[in-house]
């Protein structure tokens, strides 16, 4: 069954600090997801909710907070790019996790599908078309179909308990 099967008040069992701390025990990589708005403004954000979904067709997902400034642009975007960061890109990850700043200042980009900005440094870049949007509470889950892959096979940046690590 698909749907809101268990929409109970979770706060009765644990608080949000315990929930966040427990989630942070799950080791992830770090990505920057970019797109552009209808008037060609570049937007992007640091994301660690990225994951694989399907091999055939090739699908990935990530989730975006409804309160992020980029939210409306990603809801309207036909395409987006997921850049898997290398172990040397912790500062770039911090930059793209800020709000209310010009994240693309001093950053040279190439142009991808439908004019989306592509960073010059990454380990892997997946260019995707937006396929599905699903309600995810205070986030929306975005499923993308992978259209192109550029894989430079670099050592990854790792995120664990709120800190960056290398392998």
Ligand X SMILES: Cc1cc2nc3c(=O)[nH]c(=O)nc-3n(C[C@H](O)[C@H](O)[C@H](O)COP(=O)(O)O)c2cc1C
Q: How many angstroms separate the CA atoms of 18 and 116, rounded?
A: 37
The residue count for binding ligand X (CB under 6 A) is: 18
- Asked if 30 touches ligand X (CB under 6 A), the answer is yes
Dihedral of CA 10/142/87/69: which sign?
negative
Binding residues for ligand X restricted to 121-150, rule: CB under 6 A: none
> Which of residues 61, 64, 85, 125 is near ligand X by CB under 6 A?
64
Strands 51-54 vs 59-65: parallel, antiparallel or unpaired = antiparallel
Q: Tell which residue, 84, 85, 72, has the closest CA to residue 36.
A: 72
**Shortest distance, position 96 Cβ to ligand X, whole Å:** 6
In the chain, DSSP assigns E strands to 28-29, 31-36, 42-47, 51-54, 59-65, 79-84, 109-111, 117-119, 124-136, 139-151, 158-160, 163-165
> Of 56 and 87, which CB lies nearer to ligand X in the complex structure?
87
x/- string (CB under 6 A) for ligand X, residues 71-100? ----------------------x--xx-x-
**Shortest distance, position 48 Cβ to ligand X, whole Å:** 4
> Of 88 and 99, which CB lies nearer to ligand X in the complex structure?
99
Residue ranges in contact with ligand X by CB under 6 A:
30, 45-49, 62-65, 68-70, 93, 96-97, 99, 159
């Amino acid at each position: 069954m698909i749907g809101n099967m268990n929409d109970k008040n979770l706060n009765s069992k644990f608080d949000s600090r315990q929930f966040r701390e427990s989630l942070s025990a799950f080791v992830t990589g770090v990505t920057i997801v970019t797109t552009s708005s209808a008037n060609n403004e570049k937007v992007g954000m640091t994301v660690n909710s990225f994951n694989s979904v399907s091999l055939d067709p090739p699908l990935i997902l990530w989730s975006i907070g409804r309160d992020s400034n980029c939210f409306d642009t990603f809801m309207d975007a036909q395409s987006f790019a997921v850049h898997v960061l290398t172990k040397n890109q912790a500062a770039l990850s911090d930059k793209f996790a800020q709000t209310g700043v010009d994240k693309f200042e001093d950053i040279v980009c190439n142009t991808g599908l439908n004019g989306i900005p592509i960073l010059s440094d990454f380990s892997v870049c997946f260019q995707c078309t937006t396929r599905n949007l699903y309600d995810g509470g205070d986030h929306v889950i975005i499923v993308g179909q992978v259209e192109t892959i550029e894989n430079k096979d670099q050592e990854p940046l790792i995120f664990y308990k709120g800190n960056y690590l290398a392998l």
